[in-house]
């Protein structure tokens, strides 16, 4: 007897071949499969007779098969299946499939069928044979100027069957090798009645309050919707459920964090005032406000958990430096973690420069570097002394090092601190979901020399986060926003470039380099994947060779791509920073946060392949020095000109991110932040009302039932949810 917890291995129709594929997708039980939701739908709900009125539209046609055959093209090793269908008005449709000869077995002449797809007009072409359907098809063609109705590779099923793959809103699932949406649909359709036995984790009073369907109705309408309205209601219910779990989890994290003890670090007003007055620039109002919020947090006996969300170039580093200075002056240690060695090294050099007049010992600890810069070494900044790892670890554990900078190597078990009181994580979203979860828990568990207190935590990101996403994802953190640029920063002049203007831009780059400036050339990923393919590497190598040989033969060009080892990437960036290269040709791996003050031009190829937020991040690689900087966006398709033109109009990252969110949706926007949330919740993240309702209900529930003892189903769902999704 099957039930929702039955292993898929015990379902008669699912063979071991499919089991292996489904397990890769994380599907082990019937319940897992029923909650494997579609990511989009083909609208084949329009069942109509053949007509010129529907050419170019996705429709479903029903009728009788009058001819069916397979044509084998031996030279091309291809089989073309042709089926002629006659509708109720005796109009004819020619349907064609490639390399699917088995289709013929399903539709013998005389049977009835439904075909769904985009209706086209094809021809003119002759049809061999002299049977009735060929003659009729020829007549139909002649009546339409030699053309006939056609469909290429339509979805199909027998008319005698319920509408599953045709004649409805047809669900499309994420597929992998060895499994198709059609196969998934058949399995779910058979097993869906068992969903009646799935207990509903959403309390009934909440469902009634917001008119949300029960879980069985929801799954039924999500997999096989009766119409668009019922589908939207079902999707809203699932989105609310996921967001409800998000909000419960963030509130739990916040409460758990607030119950911990931390070191109270008194505000040393005299020191901070002296430090800020000695800076070669004036802090912006946003920097002052964020600094004040952080310093007040450090005074509290509970640990700070704050996100410093700043636009590109808004000056997060100096805010972090003031936080570190306050902590170190009180006799405690600070640790700063960056996602890559390149960024860690840059932070090390920046902090050495910032604190050059202060008696602060700074160490860099990564897999490649074990450096120390302090007053004791009497070495100039940038030429810090290299140490043995064991020796450096001892100096950290003895408390001789005040500020330790590194990658996630800092949370390895052999790293022990004497009195760590502040952890700063830079570009935290680039660590990935699992790493971020580890970072946060390890921050609480670090051997910081004080068993009773955990360090204060400051995370930083240069990706401006829209308000709706901040509510959804960062509910457990306090937010400080840097939405103001330093007064001496010149806005970057941004222009969309057409192919006819390309040579003019190349000449402009030459003139900038002759003035002593440098330039970036950025290429997008060719293959849409999380990591670069060899195709991408080949493309960037070819462009590097073309630019070196044909366009800029008088200059030195560096090359950067994702297949280089970490040390090789760093060597390239170091050479570029030291002006050994005039131009850096790179894929999208070019580091966020990398500071090349001498670079004044960035040229981005095929810019329509990037989101607005990512383009804004790239643009932030220039404009870091005193000279005017430029960003040139090369379009290969005019279709994207309206979207990309936003960057010509504004340099405000928060405005751009809001626009990007509306255009591409949260799933694409959060591609780099990797939330782990299901697609259905991601699609509704721009729904501020839904998020606020979910937060209100979560808050009310936890007030009356903080341990969820009265809601065991919800507690169990939350446990599973927390295992797969990390929230800040």
Task: Convert the pLDDT of each residue in 533-592 to its tens digit.
Answer: 666 677 889 999 999 999 999 999 999 987 888 778 888 888 998 899 999 999 887 766
DSSP letter (8 states) at residue 312? T
285 and 378 part of one domain: yes
Task: Flag whether 674 is in a domain.
Answer: no
321 and 435 part of one domain: yes
pLDDT for 672 equals: 42
pLDDT for 428 equals: 59
pLDDT for 123 equals: 65
Work out whether strand 58-73 and strand 78-86 pair parallel, antiparallel, or are unpaired: antiparallel
535 and 626 part of one domain: yes
Q: Which residues contact 449 (CB under 8 A, 6 or more apart)?
A: 399, 416, 417, 418, 419, 420
57 and 10 part of one domain: no
Task: Flag whether 356 is in a domain.
Answer: yes
Task: Flag whether 555 is in a domain.
Answer: yes
What's the average model confidence in pLDDT over 149-177? Answer: 92
Q: Which residue has the tokens 């890769």?
A: 24
CA distance 30 to 34: 6
Task: Flag whether 278 is in a domain.
Answer: yes
Task: Flag whether 659 is in a domain.
Answer: no
415 and 562 part of one domain: no
Residue pair 436/284 in contact (Cβ under 8 Å)? The answer is no
CA distance 27 to 20: 10
Work out whether strand 420-426 and strand 155-158 pair parallel, antiparallel, or are unpaired: unpaired
Distances (CA, A) of 61 to 58, 101, 189: 10, 21, 22
Task: Convert the pLDDT of each residue in 74-107 to its tens digit.
Answer: 888 899 999 999 999 989 999 999 999 999 988 9
Residue pair 284/310 in contact (Cβ under 8 Å)? The answer is no
37 and 76 part of one domain: no
The parent domain of residue 137 ranges over: 46-158
Helix axis angle, 316-329 relative to 285-298, nearest 10°? 30
* pLDDT at 727 > cutoff 60: no
Task: Flag whether 510 is in a domain.
Answer: yes
pLDDT-wise least confident of 288-297, 381-390, 636-645: 381-390
pLDDT tier for residue 671 given thresholds of 50, 70 and 90: very low
Q: Which residue has the higher pLDDT, 376 or 115?
A: 115
CA distance 374 to 376: 5
452 and 332 part of one domain: yes
Work out whether strand 456-461 and strand 305-310 pair parallel, antiparallel, or are unpaired: parallel
| Widest Cα–Cα separation across the chain | 100
With 0-12 / 13-18 / 19 or more C-beta atoms within 10 angstroms meaning exposed / middle / buried, residue 497 is middle
> Residue 289 maps to which CATH number?
3.40.50.300
How does 79-97 read in b/e, with b if 16+ C-beta sit within 10 Å? bbbebbbbbeeebbbbbeb
Task: Convert the pLDDT of each residue in 384-406 to its tens digit.
Answer: 677 788 888 899 989 999 999 99
pLDDT for 687 equals: 72
pLDDT for 412 equals: 76
Q: What is the CA radius of gyration of the chain?
A: 31
Last residue of a domain, one of 615, 650, 685: 650
Residue pair 621/520 in contact (Cβ under 8 Å)? The answer is yes
29 and 52 part of one domain: no
CA distance 576 to 521: 13
Residue pair 80/73 in contact (Cβ under 8 Å)? The answer is yes
What's the average model confidence in pLDDT over 148-164? Answer: 92
CA distance 10 to 49: 43
**Which stretches does DSSP call E strand in 651-690?**
none
149 and 73 part of one domain: yes
Task: Convert the pLDDT of each residue in 41-76 to its tens digit.
Answer: 999 999 999 999 999 999 999 999 999 999 998 888
Cα 115 to chain centroid distance, Å, stands at 36
Task: Flag whether 532 is in a domain.
Answer: yes
For CA atoms 343, 348, 349, 355, the dihedral sign is positive
Residue pair 484/300 in contact (Cβ under 8 Å)? The answer is no
149 and 179 part of one domain: no
Task: Convert the pLDDT of each residue in 422-434 to its tens digit.
Answer: 999 887 555 544 4
Task: Convert the pLDDT of each residue in 339-372 to its tens digit.
Answer: 888 888 889 989 999 999 899 999 999 887 787 8
Domain count, the chain: 4
Task: Convert the pLDDT of each residue in 594-618 to its tens digit.
Answer: 788 899 999 999 888 888 888 998 8
456 and 510 part of one domain: no
Q: Three-class SS of residue 496?
A: strand
CA distance 84 to 640: 40
* pLDDT at 196 > cutoff 60: yes
59 and 37 part of one domain: no
> Residue 153 maps to which CATH number?
2.40.50.140
Helix (H) or strand (E) holding 570: helix 566-577
CA distance 312 to 323: 20
Task: Flag whether 470 is in a domain.
Answer: no
For CA atoms 186, 188, 191, 196, the dihedral sign is negative
* pLDDT at 443 > cutoff 70: no
Nearest of 190, 187, 193, 93 to residue 149 by alpha carbon: 93
Residue pair 377/384 in contact (Cβ under 8 Å)? The answer is yes
What's the average model confidence in pLDDT over 309-316? Answer: 85
Last residue of a domain, one of 650, 680, 698: 650
Bridge partners of residue 169, in order along the sequence: 43
pLDDT-wise least confident of 160-169, 221-230, 389-398, 662-671: 662-671
Q: Which residues contact 276 (CB under 8 A, 6 or more apart)?
A: 283, 322
541 phi/psi in degrees, rounded to 5: -65, -45
């Amino acid at each position: 007897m099957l039930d929702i917890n039955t292993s898929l291995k015990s379902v008669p129709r699912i063979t071991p071949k499919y089991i292996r594929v489904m397990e890769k997708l994380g599907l082990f039980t019937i319940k897992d499969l029923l909650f494997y939701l579609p990511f989009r739908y083909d609208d084949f709900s329009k069942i109509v007779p053949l007509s010129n009125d529907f050419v170019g539209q996705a429709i479903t046609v029903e009728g009788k098969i009058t001819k069916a055959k397979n044509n084998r093209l031996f030279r091309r090793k291809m089989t073309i299946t042709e089926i002629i269908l006659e509708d109720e008005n005796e109009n004819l449709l020619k349907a064609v499939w490639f390399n699917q000869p088995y289709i013929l077995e399903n539709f013998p002449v005389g049977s009835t069928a439904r075909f769904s797809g985009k209706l086209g007009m094809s021809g003119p072409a002759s049809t061999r044979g002299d049977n009735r359907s060929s003659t009729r098809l020829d007549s139909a063609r002649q009546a339409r100027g030699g053309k006939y109705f056609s469909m290429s590779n339509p979805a199909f099923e027998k008319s005698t069957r319920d509408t599953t793959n045709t004649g409805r809103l047809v669900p499309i699932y994420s597929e992998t090798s060895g499994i198709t949406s059609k196969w998934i649909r058949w399995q779910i359709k058979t097993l869906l009645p068992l969903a009646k036995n799935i207990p509903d984790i959403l309390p009934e009073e909440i469902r009634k309050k917001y008119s949300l369907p029960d879980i069985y109705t929801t799954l039924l309408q999500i997999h096989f919707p009766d119409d668009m309205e019922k589908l939207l209601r079902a999707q809203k219910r699932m989105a609310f459920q996921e967001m409800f779990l998000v909000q419960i989890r963030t509130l739990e994290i916040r409460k758990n964090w607030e119950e911990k003890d931390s070191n109270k670090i008194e505000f040393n007003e005299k020191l901070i005032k002296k430090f800020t007055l000695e800076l070669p620039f004036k802090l912006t109002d946003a920097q002052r406000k964020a600094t004040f919020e952080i310093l007040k947090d450090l005074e509290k006996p509970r640990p700070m958990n704050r996100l410093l969300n700043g636009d590109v170039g808004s000056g997060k580093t100096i805010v972090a430096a003031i936080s570190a200075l306050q902590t170190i002056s009180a006799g405690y240690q600070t640790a700063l973690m960056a996602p890559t060695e390149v960024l860690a090294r840059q932070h090390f050099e920046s902090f050495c420069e910032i604190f050059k007049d202060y008696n602060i010992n700074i160490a860099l600890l990564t897999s490649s570097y074990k450096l120390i810069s302090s007053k004791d070494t009497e070495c100039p900044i940038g030429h810090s002394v290299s140490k043995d790892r064991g020796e450096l670890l001892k100096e950290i554990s003895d408390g001789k090092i005040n500020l330790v900078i590194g990658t996630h190597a800092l949370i390895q078990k052999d790293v022990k601190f004497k009195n760590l009181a502040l952890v700063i994580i830079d570009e935290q979203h680039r660590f990935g979901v699992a790493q971020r979860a580890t970072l946060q828990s390890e921050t609480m568990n670090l051997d910081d020399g004080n068993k009773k207190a955990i360090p204060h935590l400051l995370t930083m990101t240069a990706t401006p986060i829209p308000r709706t996403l901040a509510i959804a994802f960062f509910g457990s953190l306090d937010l400080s926003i840097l939405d103001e640029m330093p007064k001496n920063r010149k806005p970057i002049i941004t222009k969309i470039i057409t192919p006819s203007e390309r040579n003019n831009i190349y000449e402009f780059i030459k003139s900038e380099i002759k003035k002593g400036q440098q330039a970036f050339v950025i290429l997008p990923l060719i293959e849409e994947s999380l990591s670069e393919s060899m195709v991408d590497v080949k493309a960037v190598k070819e462009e590097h060779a073309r630019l070196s040989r044909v366009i800029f033969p008088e200059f030195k060009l560096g090359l950067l791509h994702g297949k280089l080892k970490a040390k090789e990437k760093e060597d390239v960036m170091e050479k570029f920073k030291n002006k050994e290269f005039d131009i850096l040709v790179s894929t999208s791996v070019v580091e966020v946060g990398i500071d090349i003050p001498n670079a004044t031009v960035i040229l981005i190829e095929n810019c329509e392949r990037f989101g607005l937020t990512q383009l804004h991040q790239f643009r932030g690689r220039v404009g870091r020095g005193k000279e005017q900087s430029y960003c040139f966006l090369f379009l290969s398709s005019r279709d994207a000109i309206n979207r990309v033109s936003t960057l010509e109009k504004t340099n405000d990252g928060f405005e751009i991110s809001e626009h990007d969110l509306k255009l591409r949706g949260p799933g694409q926007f959060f591609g780099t932040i990797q939330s782990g949330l299901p697609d259905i919740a991601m699609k509704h993240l721009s729904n501020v009302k839904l998020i606020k309702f979910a937060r209100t209900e979560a808050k009310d529930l936890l007030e009356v039932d903080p341990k969820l003892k009265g809601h065991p189903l919800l507690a169990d769902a939350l446990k599973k949810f927390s295992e797969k999704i990390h929230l800040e």
